[in-house]
A and B are shown apart, each in its own frame.
Chain A
Amino acid sequence: MSDTRNADTDGGTDATTGTDAERFEAVVVGAGPGGAAAAAVLADNGVETLVLERGVEAGSKNVSGGLIYAGKSAAYTADDLFPGFREEATERPVTRNYMDNVAGDEVHTIDLKRVHEHDTAWVDSVLRRRMDSWLAERVHERTAEAGGGLLTDVRVNGLLWEDGEAVGVTCDKLDPIRADVVIAADGVNSELARAAGLMDWEEPDEWFQGVKAVVDVEPDVIADRFDVAEDEGVARLFGGDLFDGVRGGGFLYTNRDSLSIGTVFHLDSLAEERAEPHELLDGLLTHPHLGQWLPDEYSEREYSAKLVPDSKKVAHGSPHRDRMLLVGDAAGQMQAQGPIIKGMNHAVNAGGLAAEAYVEAKSRNAPHSAGELYASKLREEGVMDELRPTRYEVTRRLSESDAVTNVLDSVARSSVGRFGLRATGGLAARLFNSPFVLGMIPDTRTSYVTVPTVLAEELGERATGANDADPPTLEERIGELTYDTDVGNPHIELVDESFEASGVAVTACPVSAEGFGGGCYREETVRVNGGEERVVSLDTQPCVECGTCAVVADTEWTHPRGGKGVAFDEG
């Protein structure tokens, strides 16, 4: 260990040489479930581990739809790694899962029990601020015992290079840190994955975008409306014509004393349709079918958003470079299994496997082989096949073309197709429950919109309830979010402000909207040389750091410093 006592100068050290760098055996970047799992396994094996988290508290930067799965066949699960996890850190065990296919007011419900329980030990609803901060406390205790610990409020901004090799990390406000292994669990917009050249997901079709409202509901109202006991919960998914033809769907999960209600859409579809995410969410929140579950007084605790990688397209088969291993979202490990999205379970599993790989590699006196070992563990444990099913690669080539989609849509909507769906309504339910089929479902309008709509039209029943929910306006939602930055005002740079290049950001950004000037982006018409030009301008404050604009617009932005930026209370 280098002597750091006198290195505490304001000037810091030269990050390119790393001569005065501090040293830990392992550095874990990010204290979400992936980072927490990795750190726990490292510490339990006596590895001196430092965990660095950018949020003011673990979980304050994180959003999830809200279900964490534990795979029966997974090598690592959250409750195995962290005793008491389900009792203290999660919301409710989700014992029932349904898919509501919607066409207008008609709804046809399919029980997703089989696929929900397939290879599943348990499923719990979670809110990330609470869950991640609980995990962080345990992680700090365990890593401190092994000579390290967990620090919040620290932004890791890049890799420490030495002779062309990444040998550690650099941080804002901290001297560089060397490590034998760096576990990068720094999320969907991972700066480390990009710095190492491991992330090149530039296209909107490689992403989903989710927005979510956490709605305040008393536990006895949840018990009454969902017919559940205190230790039971419900998940409902929504598809069909609810969302103006945008590819994706909605979800509703019961928490202890709130509901997580949100939508997840293919980002390319959102961009093509120039759809407003918050309006699509409102479409779900105010649908008559939801009235039966919402409280009499609708009150939102938080509005949030997140980008989700589509693992089928971007999960990295070999997510490592030099001594850095990627886990979780940073490695694209987010599985959309038809309507069911699983991410946190893969992050936990991968975090454990990455740590295990390092411990094994070290015991063989070859710590540099940790990355290769980790990649082979991901393959051998079947994680890669869940994330990138080979059968999907085959079907997407056949089916993800507009021509084929149009034909399939026409068939589904034709009288023959309708007859088929009516006659085989039970078959549709079986297909929705087949992990094998879901693993190869093409990402097209047919599966997300057309089939659910026709199912509801042919087999559905009219939703009779009233829905008096009056969701807040975008302005009110943004006003409730905390955003605090010191990286410049605005903190985003528009490389090309022409409407052609960046106009989609106005609509796709979850905190901006056409005709709304208080959001992150707005559309403007400016006079130029006697003519008029449509350009995109930036407002300053509201931002949820989802990264949507970096994908759909010609934009450059960096993460705010530690403790800065958006802070979610629920997540």
Chain B
Amino acid sequence: MHTVVLTKGVPDFREGKVSFDEDGHLERGNTPTTMNPNDEHALRAALQTRVRHGGRVDVMSMGPPGYTSVLREAMESVYADDLFLISDKQFAAADTWATAITLATAIQHLGEPSLIFAGFKTADGETGHTGPQTCWCLDMPLITHVVALDVDEEAERVRAKRLVEGDVSEIETVEAPLPAFVVADPEFEPSYRTARHRLERKRLRAEARERAETAEEEVTFWDHAELNLDPDYVGLDGSPTIVESVDPIPKAPSEREATVVDPGDPEAMGEVVDELAPFAGGD
């Protein structure tokens, strides 16, 4: 079973990590990159598939050379085999459509994977388009909002439980022939109910720990020439989306003026009491 997981590097939005310029624009250069949190669910779904059915998991990302650290994260968390970074200045500023064309071409370049996993929207763009658009380019069945899945290798089918309308109160079971494209929902829960599966996961972890040490050196880079892509159809030039303007995030209202009062100063404390007295009376 050959599976591919798509992952993206996003600015690390955790407190204290994000850097904005004076106009409120994100300073990407000063903000560290981390793996899109929603991709972790896709990675876990891929790992579960590999543990149960064997084969390999490759992880692919599109972005600048610095994204190798994101790929390394993927190797450490789900013990991925080969790491691919689609990286070329020609791909810069791509919208979801141009990204989907690029990723679909790269996946075809890999051969014929049985399952492709993507996460549910990215933490920066939040469109949720790239996965389904890539799937459309590949002309595969698409299952979104997947919370559990199993593969019937003999019948070459994947069976999944998915949220209907993204609602946890309604779950349906669907089937699709392989190869198929799966978008994992944040509610995805991997299940390892046999000892052999757990042993296999432990074996993969031990193996990957060693590989992860040199993961960033082992990443395979592909540019537009390698993928035989016309620069007119990728990157900014191939992106039909036009951004009209970006609204800066409004700043939090400035703090009210405060006066420091020494609790040991009876006069100052008296003034505080006078200020508060009307409220105590219910006025």
Do the two chains belong together in a single complex? yes
Binding site for B on A (CB under 8 A): 4-10, 12, 22, 24, 50, 52, 140, 144, 148-149, 151, 154, 173-175, 177
Nearest 8 pairs of A and B residues by beta carbon: A149-B199, A4-B194, A175-B193, A8-B193, A22-B194, A151-B198, A50-B195, A175-B194
**Nearest A residue to B190 by beta-carbon distance?**
A8
Within 8 A of A (CB), among B182-202: 191-199, 202
- Chain B residue numbers with a CB within 8 Å of A148 are 199
| CB–CB A12/B193 < 8 A | yes
Q: Which residue of A lies closest to B198 (CB)?
A: A151
B193's contact among A140, A144, A174, by CB below 8 Å, is which?
A: A174
Neighbouring A residues of B52 by C-beta, 8 Å: 5, 8
Q: A144-B203, A151-B198, A151-B199 are in contact. Are A5 and B191 (CB under 8 A)?
A: no
State the CA gap A148–B148 with chains docked (Å).
27
Closest to A50 in B: B195
Q: How far is the CA of A24 from the CA of B52 in the complex (A)?
A: 17
Tell me, rounded to whole Å, the shortest Cβ–Cβ distance linking A399 to chain B: 50
> A21's closest neighbor in chain B, by CB?
B194
Shortest beta-carbon distance from B11 to chain A in Å: 33
Question: With the chains together, A174 CA to B52 CA distance in Å?
Answer: 14
Give the contacting residue for B202; candidates A7, A12, A149; CB below 8 A: A149
Which residue of chain A has its CB nearest to the CB of B159?
Answer: A6
A149: chain B residues at CB < 8 Å are: 199, 202-203
A10 to B192, alpha carbons, bound, how many Å? 9
**B198 adjacent to A8 (CB under 8 Å):** no
Let me know if B196 and A4 touch, CB within 8 A. Answer: yes
Shortest B283–chain A CB gap in Å is 43
> In this assembly, does B88 line the interface, its C-beta being within 8 Å of a C-beta of chain A?
no
Residues of B within 8 A of A24 (CB): 195
Q: Across the interface, do B193 and A177 meet the contact criterion of CB distance under 8 Å?
A: no
Q: Jot down 26 A-B pairs with beta carbons below 8 A, ordered by A.
A: A4-B196, A6-B152, A8-B52, A8-B150, A8-B193, A8-B194, A8-B197, A10-B148, A10-B193, A22-B194, A22-B195, A22-B196, A24-B195, A50-B195, A50-B199, A140-B202, A144-B203, A148-B199, A149-B202, A149-B203, A151-B198, A154-B195, A154-B198, A174-B193, A175-B193, A175-B194
The answer, yes or no, to whether B53 is at the interface (CB within 8 Å) is yes
Chain A residues closer than 8 Å to B193, beta-carbon distance: 7-10, 12, 173-175
20 other A-B residue contacts (CB within 8 Å) besides A5-B53, A7-B193: A4-B196, A4-B197, A8-B52, A8-B150, A8-B191, A8-B192, A8-B194, A9-B193, A22-B195, A22-B196, A50-B195, A50-B199, A52-B195, A149-B199, A149-B202, A151-B195, A151-B202, A154-B195, A154-B198, A173-B193
* A65 CB to nearest chain B CB (Å): 32
- Give B contacts to A, CB under 8 Å: 52-53, 148, 150, 152-153, 191-199, 202-203
- Are A6 and B196 in touch, CB under 8 angstroms? no
User: In whole Å, how far is B271's beta carbon from the nearest beta carbon of chain A?
Assistant: 42
Given the complex, which residues of A lie within 8 Å of B53, measured CB to CB? 5
For B150, the chain A residues whose CB sits under 8 A away are 6, 8
A174 & B203 in contact (Cβ 8 Å cutoff): no
User: Closest CB of chain A to B203's CB: distance in Å?
Assistant: 7
Shortest beta-carbon distance from B51 to chain A in Å: 9
Instruction: Looking at the assembled complex, report how far the CB atom of B172 sits from the nearest CB atom of chain A, in whole angstroms.
Output: 16
The CA of A50 and the CA of B199, in the complex, are separated in Å by: 9
Q: How far is the CA of A9 from the CA of B152 in the complex (A)?
A: 13
**Chain B hits for A9, CB < 8 A:** 191, 193
Residue of A nearest to B161 (CB): A10
A7 to B195, CA, bound (A): 12
Give the CA-CA distance A151 to B195 in the complex, in Å: 8
Contact between A174 and B195 (Cβ–Cβ < 8 Å)? Answer: yes
Whole-angstrom CA separation of A10 from B147 in the bound complex: 12
- Taking CB as reference atom, which chain A residue is nearest B201? A151
Please give, as numbers and ranges, the residues of chain A lying within 8 Å of B148 by CB-CB distance.
10
Nearest neighbor of A27 in chain B, beta-carbon distance: B195
**Which residue of chain A is the closest to B51 with respect to CB atoms?**
A8
Q: Are B199 and A7 in contact (CB under 8 A)?
A: no
Contacts of A10 in B (CB 8 A): 148, 191, 193
Contact partners of A177 in chain B: CB under 8 A: 195
A142 to B194, CA, bound (A): 20
CA distance A151 to B199 in the complex (A): 7
In the assembled complex, the Cα of A6 lies from the Cα of B155 at a distance in Å of 13
Smallest CB–CB gap between B48 and chain A, Å? 8
Give bound CA distance, A175 to B52, whole Å.
Answer: 15
Residue of A nearest to B199 (CB): A149
Shortest distance between the CB of A53 and any CB in chain B (Å) = 12
A12 to B193, CA, bound (A): 7
Question: Which of A52, A144, A174 interacts with B194 by CB under 8 Å?
Answer: A174
Q: How far is the CA of A372 from the CA of B63 in the complex (A)?
A: 66
CA distance A144 to B203 in the complex (A): 9
Residue of B191, B194, B203 ringed by the most chain A CB atoms within 10 A = B194
**Whole-angstrom distance between the alpha carbons of A10 and B150 in the complex?**
12
- Write the chain B residue with the least CB distance to A5: B52
**A12 and chain B: residue at smallest CB distance:** B193
Query: Whole-angstrom distance from the CB of B205 to the nearest CB of chain A?
Result: 12
When chains A and B are docked, how far (Å) is the Cα of A5 from the Cα of B196? 10
User: Is B195 in contact with A144, judged by CB distance below 8 angstroms?
Assistant: no
Nearest chain A residue, comparing its CB with the CB of B200: A149
Shortest Cβ gap from B72 to chain A (Å): 25
Q: Which residue of B has the minimal Cβ distance to A171?
A: B195
A4 to B150 CA separation, bound complex (whole angstroms):
13
Q: How far is the CA of A154 from the CA of B193 in the complex (A)?
A: 11
Q: How far is the CB of B189 from chain A (nearest CB, A)?
A: 8
Min distance, Cβ B198 to any Cβ of chain A, angstroms: 5
Question: Which residues on B sit within 8 Å (CB–CB) of A151?
Answer: 195, 198-199, 202
A149 (CB) vs chain B CBs: closest residue: B199
Q: For residue B221, give the distance in angstroms from its CB to the closest CB of chain A.
A: 35
Residues of A contacting B196 in the complex (Cβ-Cβ under 8 angstroms): 4, 22
A174 contact set on B, CB distance < 8 A: 193-195, 198
Chain A residues whose C-beta falls within 8 Å of the C-beta of B153 in the assembled complex? 5
Assembly CA distance A6 to B197 (angstroms)? 11
B199 partner residues in chain A, CB cutoff 8 A: 50, 144, 148-149, 151
Nearest CB to that of B197 among chain A residues?
A: A8
Residues of A with C-beta under 8 A to B198: 151, 154, 174
Question: Which A residue sits closest to B189, measured CB to CB?
Answer: A10
- Please report the C-alpha to C-alpha distance between residue A148 and residue B150 in the assembled complex, in whole angstroms: 24
Contact partners of B197 in chain A: CB under 8 A: 4, 8
Residues of A within 8 A of B203 (CB): 144, 149
Q: Report the bound CA distance from A405 to B192 in whole Å.
A: 58
In the docked arrangement, what's the CA distance between A174 and B148, Å?
A: 17
Determine which residue in B152, B193, B197, B203 has the highest number of CB atoms from chain A within 10 A of its CB, and name it: B193
- Residues of chain A within 8 A (CB-CB) of B192 are 8
Bound-state Cα–Cα, A50 to B194, Å? 12
A142-B198 Cα distance, complex, nearest whole Å: 17
| Shortest distance from the beta carbon of B282 to any chain A beta carbon, whole Å | 38
